[in-house]
Structure 1
Amino acid sequence: MTNRVDFDQYTADYNKLLQERTDFFTKDDGYFARYKVDLVKSKLKTPPRRILEYGCGIGRNISFLQKCFPEAAIVGTDISAASLDIAREDYPGVQFILEDESLSNHDTFDLIFIAGVFHHIPVIERDKVAQKLRQRLSSDGDIFIFEHNPYNPITQRIVSTCPYDDDAVLLRPKELRQRLSGAGFQVKETDYCLFVPPSLPKLIWLERYLARVPLGGQYVLHAKK
């Protein structure tokens, strides 16, 4: 694996780089964030009171979390100080914390939302991160982790040509399940997603029937403490 990517270098161009690699699927740069948050909301039985987005970056998912869970207090953490500076400007009502600096070990959350982060975590550190996330989850909380699907050739191509994915080591769903189970999580389900582009709205309903087919652009793991 190459050296870990410094996301501070990509904060200004992050949205542009992402759009360049995904506009074949949709030209709506908010689609993926909205899709993921809506999917999480559909699987929750009780609205969360406190939400942690681990690896929030510049805050692309924050507005959708706010819309879907308007009563929740939201905290975003990341290892990129420059990304958090942008997020703070755009979402002044949200608390953003540089990872491991100020978040108390006693802070717990009803929902932990993670999108496209684990493939950037060095393999040797993934178990430690899983254990840390379990400490941050409330006793009846839910964690949802979205990851790139390594079985999808288009996803593989996007990752291989994206400059801020130079350090990416994609995880098979089995690895992610094992790491979370090893940290003490109860893994509830793993579904594949992002099959149908929004330009084909009449076919979106197929997504729920394809959730077990390992061809979606990404997959989502749902676990509890």
Structure 2
Amino acid sequence: MDEAEFDRFADEYYQQHVASIRLSGEAPEFFHRYKVEDVAATLRGAGTTPLRILDFGAGVGNSLGAMTEAFPTSEIVLLDPSARSLEVARARHPGKAHFQHFDGGQIPFEDGAFDLVFAACVFHHIPSSFHVPLLKEIRRVMKRGASIFVFEHNPVNPLTRKAVRDCPFDENAVLISAGTMKARLRDAGLPDCSVAYRIFFPGFLSALRALEPMLRGVPLGAQYYVHAIKRDG
């Protein structure tokens, strides 16, 4: 994980994101919010509320506003290898979370520290050889019964591929299929996992989004998430 690369884009990430997703008809906030809302809905359905949340690869804190609304009583930690990104996040959301720099390898928290780990479009920036070791490290800091949600771009979707091509921040990104991401979670010791596909309709067809719950098993959405639960200690 190249800290300098992430630092370079920290101050201009929002504008680059806006430009790259213009065909979606949505602002970046739509994508940040739906992810958190999906996580919150899943946990509500399971009757759980996380006490401590790790936003892994949190960058400039794009998910934090929605996260504090969805989980107002939770302690939230934003973890990122880019010190500059965390400075931007802290300035945007003063006092809303703990902002923790790390070396891109070892997470500086004790075993079983978190009830929920959230990773929003992070792993396509990380070389594939680091995925399983990092997921094992994430598993280490998860409590028994904790959840991890890994959101990623779906490489099968042509508009997603275009958005990634058009975004300078994604110039070195390597998209990951849902099946591959699921297999890497299993290899990291998190075999209890499932996949859901998301965002099938652009903004001008937003009236059709009520159909999305019926489409989550269809591997054509613009993004997907893998949800895994740590069952053992």
Q: Please report the TM-score for the alignment, with normalisation by the length of structure 2.
A: 0.90
SS in 2 for 1:40: helix
SS in 1 for 2:160: helix
Greater per-residue helix proportion? 2
The CA RMSD measured in Å over matched residues stands at 1.7
Which segments of 5 or more consecutive residues in structure 2 lack a partner in the other structure? none
Change (3 A) 1:92 1:148: same
Q: Which amino acid aligns with 2:61?
A: G
Residues 94-131 of structure 1: per-residue CA shift (max 9 Å, x gap): 10111247722335111101000011111111111110
**Is 2:27 aligned against 1:28?**
yes
1: CA distance, partners of 2:41 / 2:139? 22
Which segments of 5 or more consecutive residues in structure 1 lack a partner in the other structure? none
SS in 2 for 1:147: strand
* Larger displacement relative to structure 2 (18-27 or 150-159): 18-27
Q: Which amino acid aligns with 2:145?
A: D
Aligned length: 223
Aligned match of 1:56 in 58, 66, 77? 58
2: CA distance, partners of 1:145 / 1:199? 27
Contact persistence 1:120–1:169 (CA under 8 A): yes
Contact persistence 1:54–1:77 (CA under 8 A): yes
Aligned residues: percent identity?
37
1: CA distance, partners of 2:222 / 2:149? 16
- The residue aligned with 2:195 is 190
1: CA distance, partners of 2:126 / 2:139? 16
Residues 40-62 of structure 1: per-residue CA shift (max 9 Å, x gap): 11111211111000000000000
- The residue aligned with 1:160 is 165
Aligned match of 1:99 in 102, 120, 126? 102
Instruction: State the shift of 1:199 in Å.
Output: 4.3
Instruction: State the shift of 1:4 in Å.
Output: 8.4
Q: Which amino acid aligns with 1:122?
A: P
- The residue aligned with 1:119 is 124
1: CA distance, partners of 2:52 / 2:25? 31
2: CA distance, partners of 1:197 / 1:160? 18
Instruction: State the shift of 1:29 in Å.
Output: 2.9
Instruction: State the shift of 1:202 in Å.
Output: 2.7
1: CA distance, partners of 2:49 / 2:203? 26
Instruction: State the shift of 1:155 in Å.
Output: 0.8
* Larger displacement relative to structure 2 (144-153 or 192-201): 192-201
Instruction: State the shift of 1:170 in Å.
Output: 1.0
